[in-house]
A and B are shown apart, each in its own frame.
Chain A
Amino acid sequence: MYGRGIYALQDVSLVVDKGDFVFLTGPSGAGKSTLLRLLLRQDLPTEGQVKVAGRDLAKLTPGQAQSYRRGIGFVFQDFKLIATKTVLENVGLVPRVLGATSVQQQRRTFQVLKWLGLQHRMNAYPMELSGGEQQRVAIARSLVNEPTLILADEPTGNLDPDLSFEIMNLFRDINARGTTVVVATHDRELIRHVGRRVFTLDHGHLVHTA
């Protein structure tokens, strides 16, 4: 709940199993992004619990919260790439920040970029990339640390339909390797294309599960 009695989410209870691929859908303002922020521990619930892998996120210390986030990959609608760093540096930032050696960092970064078909764009800056390429770089960044959970908030919001399907296929492949994927989107076509479990939110309430 935000101030003045405004509920972003109310009476929402759902379970996502390990290795699942689920969609969060609903109109704008339904609470999709809020739920993802709770899962990322950017916000804390005013009531109830958010548990990931058996851990109550509200009970984590700041240091434990940072450690928890290292196991999660996050993909934004607006990509959030660092304009002053190349593709390689953007993706390599994660292992670098988390203490990998230069050799480990470069090897892992190149592996991920190659898997996503971006190895030929390693030295390009974000401004030099297409929308689809930028989103793939963002996905690469979310994957490079081999997370157990990927959270994607409207990852295809800025992309055309063909690219959107391409990105969703990528997420399907990622999920096939064992990573739990949670995608927030209002695009029903995409949901239909991927065909996975769907939680529908509306005005902060969970109205449908499919």
Chain B
Amino acid sequence: MTLHWLTYCLEEAFGSLWRQRGSAILSAITIAAAFFVLGGFLFATVNLDRVLARWSAAAEFSIYLRDDITQDQRVALNKLLEEHPAVASRDYVSKADAASRFRRDFPDLAEGFADLPQNPLPASIEARLRPDRSDPTTLEAFAGRLREAPGVADVRFDRRWLERLGSIVTGLRWAGWLLGGVLLCAAVLTVATVVRLALHSRRDEVEIMQLMGAPISLLRGPLVLEGLIQGGLGAVVALIALGTAYLVVRPQLPAAFGPLADPGLIAFLPASLSVLLVLGGMAVGSMGGYLAARHVR
């Protein structure tokens, strides 16, 4: 009976979608628009999370050294860093290394940089912090001590602005879900309306089947499946549109993001999220179909 039920419902659902293909396509487009927006927000937040994670793993304290720092001052500074429980590791970046990084990150300015009489960029020590020792007050105090250490020109503490950026990303994610939620509700109602129209055009058939004694699941099943197919189709169209947009924009990424992050970090949605989007589309469509099917009793 289950296989029979599924076969019958699928045949009826596809038949109905074909007969009402105009409105079914419009419904799928509405769902595609909703999932395109949702997918776009997911794409943005997933990649922002990736960039933030990379930045968080990078230097959190950048201690810029004076050009005239003595060896003793260097040793004392290293000892200060080594002994602090919050410091996980540190790397020395020479003036030459700093210059190389500048030329790599700002290729347009490399020529002008080469014309300078001397390398203006200071050497630095990049200290990475342990995640379990990240009390902001303690770290601020430590940054203050480092600033006052002999041989130190300046100290940059990245954590605060990373946290702010993280908050922005979280806000963006919530805005995406909110907007996506509104669009999804609209999509559910659109599917329900389209399926209800299809039901109306088949009211004689449904009445006859009710009088024949057809089980209610056989009357409602095709309607729910109609919604599921429209929803799944809409989500797939959205994914294709997102993928196409990504392929078009991808060559522009190094120019846009070069100084901020490795463009190689930016990737399309992972397969799991893509599958989730399609399943979400089917769920939204099914909900719309079920709303319409409730009128069959």
Contact = CB atoms under 8 A, between A and B. Distances in A.
Interface of A: 40, 42, 62-63, 65-72, 74, 80, 82, 84, 93-94, 96-99, 145
A149 to B, nearest CB: 12
B211 interface: yes
A72 B204 CA distance: 18
B208 A98 contact: no
B205 A69 contact: no
B53 interface: no
Contacts of B214: 66, 97-98
Interface string B189-215: 000000000000000110111111111
Nearest to B11: A96
Interface of B: 1, 4, 8, 19, 204-205, 207-216, 218
Given A96-B8, A97-B8, A66 B208 contact: no
A71 B215 CA distance: 14
A68 B204 contact: no
B213 A68 contact: yes
7 contacts: A65-B213, A66-B214, A66-B215, A70-B213, A72-B213, A97-B212, A145-B212
Nearest to A69: B213
Contacts of B208: 80, 82, 93
Nearest to A73: B212
B213 A66 contact: yes
B213 to A, nearest CB: 3
Given A62-B216, A82-B204, A99 B4 contact: yes
Contacts of B205: 82
A72 B210 CA distance: 12
Contacts of B19: 84
A97 B209 contact: yes
Nearest to A101: B4
Contacts of A74: 211
B295 to A, nearest CB: 15
Given A82-B204, A82-B205, A84-B19, A97 B218 contact: yes
Contacts of A84: 19
A94 B8 CA distance: 12
A111 to B, nearest CB: 18
B52 to A, nearest CB: 56
A154 to B, nearest CB: 16
Residue among B205, B216, B218 facing the most chain A CB atoms (10 A cut-off): B205
B211 A69 contact: yes
A40 B212 contact: no
Contacts of B1: 99
A74 B210 CA distance: 11
A40 B209 contact: no
A66 B214 CA distance: 6
B138 to A, nearest CB: 69
Contacts of B212: 69-70, 93-94, 97-98, 145
A80 B213 contact: no
Given A71-B213, A82-B205, A99-B4, 6 more contacts: A69-B212, A82-B208, A93-B208, A93-B212, A97-B8, A98-B212
A210 B97 CA distance: 114
Contacts of A97: 8, 209, 212, 214, 218
B116 to A, nearest CB: 81
Contacts of A71: 213
Nearest to A84: B19
A14 to B, nearest CB: 22
A93 B209 contact: yes
B199 to A, nearest CB: 14
Nearest to B215: A66
Contacts of A72: 213
Given A66-B213, A97-B218, A98-B212, A80 B4 contact: no
Nearest to A68: B213
Residue among A65, A69, A96, A97 facing the most chain B CB atoms (10 A cut-off): A97
Nearest to A97: B214
A144 B232 CA distance: 38
